Amino acid sequence: MNRRVLLAARPVGLPQLSDFSFSAEPIVHPTDGELLIAARYLSADPLQRWRMDETSGYGKTIAIGEMVWGRMVGQVVQSRNRNWQEGDFAEGMLGWQEYAVSMGDTERVSYARGLTRVHPKRAPISTSLGILGMPGVTAYFALL
């Protein structure tokens, strides 16, 4: 089963456990060109809190009952995409869930789309959600 975290209520102040619910759904297996990724790490970024608020005006609001969107680092467990092999690591906007299906597109139209290949021999894979990922890039440009 694929366990997912859903937004159950709009947080007031700091999010509480009661603002979330959990679902378990059958794992969707990849079709031609797709891959199935098992989560190893999920991000918890300030942007996510803003997107839980209907009045923030910052990007698309997460609807009540919708999966919480965020970045994931995971390992490919099934691949029907010639560019990705089982065992590869990837990072992308795949949501707060245990398993995600992706087209494996590495050519980004925007930062929120596509996957980035993660190389575990270069650095711990968790750094793709921190210093070597979007938060690190944001911090770098803030210091310039």
pLDDT at 8: 98
d(CA 41, CA 23): 18
pLDDT at 82: 93
| Cβ–Cβ under 8 Å, residues 131 and 86 | no
Give tens-digit pLDDT for 71-104: 999 999 999 999 999 999 999 999 999 999 998 8
How large a percentage of the chain has pLDDT more than 70? 92
CATH assignment of the domain containing 90: 3.90.180.10
- Per DSSP (E only), the strands in 1-144 are 2-7, 20-25, 35-42, 71-79, 89-93, 99-102, 115-118
- The count of structural domains within the chain is 1
Q: Domain of residue 128: give its range.
A: 2-143
Res. 58: pLDDT tops 80: no
pLDDT at 135: 83
| Cβ–Cβ under 8 Å, residues 100 and 39 | yes
pTM: 0.88
d(CA 24, CA 3): 4
Report the 10 Å Cβ neighbour count for 97.
Answer: 23
Please state the rounded mean pLDDT for residues 37-60.
86
pLDDT at 99: 98
Please state the rounded mean pLDDT for residues 48-70.
86
